[in-house]
């Protein structure tokens, strides 16, 4: 057969003379020589010899090879099944996530930097609680420490580390429990940004999906920066800068190698490796981090050794942790001033760190020394200057164990600490400190209140009745002026809680907070001007733009000067001859009032000098009775300790007003017994102003002593 030369037209093949029929038809039939099998060879004798059959293949003859082929087949089947199952799970749980078009990296929450009056940092707050730093702003060994201990192949993998997962699986199987998670930094970031901390299969698969998305959208540098600025590191610190301030009192920019290793060590378990609460464990963990850094080539063995020998000193929290009560209060009221935060801000407060430290120490020392004796578990202290600026605020014994702010949010019965509002109302109705009322049993519509001592002294002046906290006289005065008038006076001076205008208001049965009760005493110290207690002075952005600046001075005059003088003259006697003697400060004019609620559940002392007003409360969170603690005991002791420090270095100043109790110049006389408390009688010489015959069983001894 031959072919014509290719042309532009299709040409059919034709047969030549040797291969076709004469009539031009092709013949495709088999001929004699056309055989489908090899021709048989002939032997020398000329006979045909059978062709040798081809050997069977090795696979048909070898069982091992058949097994290998079967194994490979079923392995391929299993891979297909597993891949399909995993793909199905990923698709199923991935479908529960929002559409990828809606995925965005959440904006970094605003940071709130809360400063004391002198510029000292009290706390960083907000969901990040620290400044946002770039990698270039951090010392290089800080991110290196994190990579070395958390994700050594961070720059190699694509969001998931197969080697790390295999190692973690091996360790977990050998331990028989979950010891390592195998999560990469990208996975941890995905969890922190988008997911809950639940340890479920669904959350883990979603974490992987989101980690891959992050790797597609962001560079490794961006992922690492986000992680370091958002990760939780214990103690309320989110991000390495917040942790640096929390544990070392400095910016993350200034961390040493040893400090950076300590912070990286917190990632495993922040509470377990806190350098404040568990310094030995934190040091051991930091050594593990430094060793990992050397193994990874980030630092030399010598650098690791030097860092291990460098002392790491964690700083205690501001004012023993009490500064966080202030920060909580600031964060609670901040929305009233700036609304929703969209940028980092700085809040300047009125807090005096010297006084804050002294206040926290006074509460803690008093509870440590005598709390168990009196069955008292908690305390609170508030100090306010004459303008209404809060200078110190302690909401409890220890913030770490109980962050509830009893100074602001605790509402308890003030007991006799409410009586100054009764007596002020009486003075404003025309009475004077020398006005006499009879201390005797009282019955009002079936209600029969008793004195603390269940004894009565007969005719007494208002000054004596207030100093000795006589319940019967307070109830009589309330009945004379009216409960509504007493409630109005209290509200006018600064009480903001609702008050029940009933006869029992005389004994402080309506609940109030230490903050508002202390604020209501400030007009006695500043000449009668009402105040609004405040802690925020100014709010600015980090670039200095002022968002809020405090102005104004409060509601103005709420007590006439003449009554301010009378009340101060009366309440000075509480510290001189009354129930608050333990609070007295040598050489300093001061006034105040004790308070004890029913069944000894609450004990108060609210007192003031011309420079500062402070209120102290002690009791139990479950409202259980104490072991007969009174306002003249623990509260007066703590108030004395705090105010002694507060007035240190100040010039002595008289209380406002020049009213003097008539006849009190030489009272009590020299040699008279004057040990006083809510559980002790007052004893002065017969004939002196305010003298009352002592009650039994001391009567016989005192009659012989004084000849009466």
Q: Which residues are catalytic?
A: 150, 416
- The encoded tokens of residue 96 equal 């529960």
Q: 538 by DSSP, 3-state: which? A: strand
d(CA 110, CA 341): 6
Q: Pairing mode, if any, of strands 112-115 and 121-125?
A: antiparallel
- DSSP string for 594-624: EEE-GGG-EEEEEEE-SS-EEEEEEE-TT--
Place of tokens 């310094």: 279
d(CA 331, CA 296): 42
Q: Which residues of 16-28 are buried (b: 16+ CB within 10 A; e: fewer)?
A: eeeeeeeeeeeee
Strand 556-557 relative to strand 591-596, pairing: unpaired
**Residue whose token pair is 């409060």:** 554
Beta-strand relationship, 390-394 and 546-549: unpaired
Helix (H) / strand (E) element for 142: namely: helix 141-150
CA distances from 659 to 437, 519, 566, 572 (A): 20, 23, 6, 11
Cβ pair 706, 686 in contact under 8 A: yes
Please state, as a whole number, how many other Cβ atoms lie within 10 Å of the Cβ of residue 214: 22
The C-alpha atoms of residue 404 and residue 394 are separated, in whole angstroms, by 10
Kindly give, in sequence order, each residue whose CB lies less than 8 Å from that of residue 107, ignoring residues fewer than 6 positions away.
none
3-state secondary structure 625-655: CCCCCCCCCHHHHHHHHHHHHHCCCCCCCCC
**Torsional class of 702: left (φ above 0), alpha (ψ -120 to 50), beta (otherwise):** alpha
d(CA 318, CA 296): 37
Cβ partners under 8 Å of residue 82, min gap 6: none
Hey, which residues does 617 pair with through a beta bridge? 380, 604
In sequence order, which ranges of 155-198 are alpha helices (DSSP H)? 162-175, 185-194
**DSSP 3-state assignment of 461?**
strand
First-to-final CA distance of the chain = 160
- Give the count of alpha carbons within 13 A of 117, CB side only: 13
Q: How far is CA 701 from the centre of its chain?
A: 58
């Amino acid at each position: 057969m031959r072919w014509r030369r290719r042309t532009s037209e299709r040409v059919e093949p034709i047969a030549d003379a040797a291969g076709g029929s004469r009539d031009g038809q092709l013949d495709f039939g088999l001929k004699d020589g056309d055989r489908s099998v090899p021709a048989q060879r002939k032997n020398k004798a000329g006979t045909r010899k059978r062709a040798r059959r081809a050997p069977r293949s090795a696979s048909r003859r070898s069982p091992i090879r058949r097994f290998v082929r079967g194994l490979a087949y079923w392995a391929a089947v299993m891979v297909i099944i597993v891949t399909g199952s995993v793909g199905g799970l990923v698709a199923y749980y991935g479908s529960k996530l929002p559409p990828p078009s809606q995925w965005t990296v959440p904006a970094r929450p605003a940071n709130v930097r809360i400063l004391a009056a002198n510029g000292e940092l009290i706390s960083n707050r907000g969901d990040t609680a620290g400044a946002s730093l770039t990698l270039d702003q951090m010392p290089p060994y800080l991110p290196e420490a994190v990579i070395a201990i958390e994700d050594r192949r961070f720059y190699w993998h694509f969001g998931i580390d197969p080697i790390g997962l295999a190692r973690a699986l091996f360790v977990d199987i050998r331990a028989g429990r979950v010891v390592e998670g195998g999560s990469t930094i990208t996975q941890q970031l995905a969890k922190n940004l988008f997911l809950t901390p639940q340890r479920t299969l669904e959350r883990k698969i979603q974490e992987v999906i989101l980690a891959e998305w992050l790797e597609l959208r962001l560079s490794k540098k961006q992922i690492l920066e986000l992680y370091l600025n958002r990760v939780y590191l214990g103690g309320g610190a989110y991000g390495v800068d917040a942790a640096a301030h929390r544990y070392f009192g400095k910016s993350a920019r200034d961390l040493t190698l040893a400090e950076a290793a300590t912070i990286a060590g917190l990632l495993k378990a922040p509470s377990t490796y806190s350098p404040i609460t568990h310094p030995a464990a934190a040091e051991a963990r930091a050594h593990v981090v430094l060793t990992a850094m050397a193994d990874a080539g980030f630092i030399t063995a010598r650098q690791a050794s030097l860092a291990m020998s460098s002392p790491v000193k964690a700083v205690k929290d501001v004012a023993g942790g009490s500064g966080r009560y202030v920060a909580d209060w600031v964060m609670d009221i901040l929305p009233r001033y700036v609304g929703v935060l969209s940028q980092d801000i700085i809040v300047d407060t009125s807090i005096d760190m010297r006084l804050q430290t002294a206040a926290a120490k006074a509460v803690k020392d008093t509870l440590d020394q005598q709390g168990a004796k009196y069955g008292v578990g908690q305390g609170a202290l508030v100090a306010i200057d004459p303008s209404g600026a809060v200078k110190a605020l302690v909401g409890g014994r220890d913030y770490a164990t109980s962050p509830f702010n009893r100074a602001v949010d605790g509402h308890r019965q003030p007991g006799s600490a409410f009586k100054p509002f009764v007596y002020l109302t009486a003075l404003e109705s025309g009475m004077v400190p020398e006005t006499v009322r009879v201390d005797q049993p009282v019955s009002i519509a079936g209600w029969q209140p008793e004195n603390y001592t269940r004894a009565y002294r007969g005719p007494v002046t208002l000054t004596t009745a207030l100093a000795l906290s006589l319940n019967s006289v307070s109830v009589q005065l309330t009945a004379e002026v009216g409960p509504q008038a007493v409630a109005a006076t209290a509200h006018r001076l600064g009480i903001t809680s609702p008050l029940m205008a009933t006869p029992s208001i005389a004994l402080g049965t309506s609940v109030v907070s230490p903050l508002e009760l202390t604020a209501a005493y400030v007009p006695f110290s500043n000449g009668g001007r009402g105040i609004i207690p405040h802690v925020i002075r100014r709010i600015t952005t980090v670039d200095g733009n002022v968002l809020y600046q405090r102005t104004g001075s409060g509601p103005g005059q709420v007590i006439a000067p003449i009554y301010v003088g009378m009340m101060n003259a009366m309440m000075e006697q509480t510290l001189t001859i009354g129930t608050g003697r333990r609070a007295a400060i040598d050489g300093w004019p001061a006034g105040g009032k004790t308070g004890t609620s029913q069944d000894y559940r609450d004990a108060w002392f609210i007192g003031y000098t011309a420079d500062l007003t402070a209120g102290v409360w002690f009791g139990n969170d479950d409202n259980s009775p104490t072991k007969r603690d009174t306002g003249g005991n623990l509260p007066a002791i703590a108030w004395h300790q705090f105010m002694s420090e507060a007035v240190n270095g100040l010039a002595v100043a008289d209380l406002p007003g020049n009213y003097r109790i008539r006849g009190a110049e030489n009272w009590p006389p020299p040699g008279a017994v004057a040990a006083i408390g809510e559980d002790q009688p007052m004893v002065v010489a017969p004939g002196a102003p305010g003298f009352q015959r002592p009650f039994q069983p001391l009567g016989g001894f005192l009659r012989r002593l004084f000849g009466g």
